Amino acid sequence: MRISYVIIENDVKTAIRIHDILDEQGDFLFLGSFVEVEKAIPILLENKPDIIFLGLPAALDSNQTEWFLTAELRRNQIPIPKIVVLSETQEFAYRAIKEGVVDYLLKPVDTTELLKFISKLQLKAEFTSNTLFLKSYGDYRFIKIADLLYAKADNNSTDLYLTSGEKIAAFKTLKHFERTLPPQFVRIHNSYIVNAQYITRIHVANNICYLKGSKLQLPVSKSYKNNLDRLVEIILSL
């Protein structure tokens, strides 16, 4: 399941740049690019994109039609997607944020800033209402995030271990899950990601962590020791 998006922007170069950056990521579905809000409405109503990149004019007037967009979606009882405004100045971007948008990008769009926004998105294709969605051919699996104990790399796939003792093979790399799992999942080894809420002890000298209700000991590699401080902070905050 990919993250769908629409671009509404009268600057063609900006629209093309956003499309090209997201296209390289591979997890995004482009639904279309439009110069005017009104022309995008039918696509928005039909496809219900996850994200709208909305360009603001150089001079934002409250009577202009940009916010007609959200009004029209509400009128049709369509959930408001994540809206990212594209603005030439922070002033107009801040005004837009008051209208309920989730973020803004200054033009010309910087690749690093766009990628930062993507990394902040809690909206990832696998996650809906704290549920992990795995699809393999005709097999759909739905796993509660809270039930995931740890993940272990298996070449180019990943084995997911649940609190029930079940092991599920996922045809994604461990790096993929490192990017997309919620913050309480921390990489502790080249082959392991662990759910912090189940850690009962970290033996730093022996490079081992212990899991609740299990005799299993997971290794902590030297290359990921920098993650231990973050892991401890997460455990203390749970």
Report cis status (omega within 30 of 0) of the bond before 79: no
H or E, element range at 95? helix 90-97
User: Same structural domain for residues 104 and 153?
Assistant: no
User: Same structural domain for residues 113 and 154?
Assistant: no
User: Cα(177)–Cα(89) distance, rounded to whole angstroms?
Assistant: 35
The token pair at 227 is: 């993650």
Is the pLDDT at 103 greater than 60? The verdict is yes
E-strand spans in the chain?
3-8, 28-34, 51-55, 82-87, 103-106, 127-128, 131-136, 139-144, 148-154, 157-162, 167-170, 185-189, 192-195, 199-203, 208-211, 217-219
The token pair at 24 is: 């390289």
* pTM: predicted TM-score of the whole model, two decimal places: 0.51
State residue 47's pLDDT score. Answer: 86
User: Same structural domain for residues 189 and 167?
Assistant: yes
User: Cα(189)–Cα(150) distance, rounded to whole angstroms?
Assistant: 11
Geometric angle at alpha carbon 131, from 20 and 22, rounded to 5°: 5
80, 100, 120 - which closes a domain: 120
User: Same structural domain for residues 78 and 172?
Assistant: no
Report the CATH number at residue 102. Answer: 3.40.50.2300
Q: Are strands 103-106 and 51-55 parallel, antiparallel or unpaired?
A: unpaired
120, 146, 165 - which closes a domain: 120
Each residue's pLDDT tens digit, 77-101: 777 788 888 888 776 666 666 555 6
User: Same structural domain for residues 74 and 141?
Assistant: no
User: Same structural domain for residues 147 and 233?
Assistant: yes
User: Same structural domain for residues 102 and 184?
Assistant: no
Each residue's pLDDT tens digit, 45-71: 888 888 999 987 644 444 454 566 777
* φ, ψ for residue 226, nearest 5 deg: -65, -20
Please count the structural domains in the chain.
2
* Domain boundaries, position 116: 3-120
User: Same structural domain for residues 106 and 24?
Assistant: yes
Each residue's pLDDT tens digit, 145-172: 889 999 999 988 999 999 999 999 998 8
